[in-house]
Structure 1
């Protein structure tokens, strides 16, 4: 049971990290588009 909870927490953390990574990438791309 604790292992399952740990896995779920890691999965949610990973998904949040992926979301932030995509968001930062999108922001940098749009910023470059505006600047260049």
Structure 2
């Protein structure tokens, strides 16, 4: 949804970039020592 609002398309991103949703973020943030949620 954020990408839609900003007009960014998957094809415009680098090949190495994978798009994750909230569940992916929550899983990774839970295991991290820092939180960069904005």
Whose RCO is larger (CA < 8 A, sep 6+)? 2
TM-score calculated relative to the size of structure 2? 0.31
TM-score calculated relative to the size of structure 1? 0.32
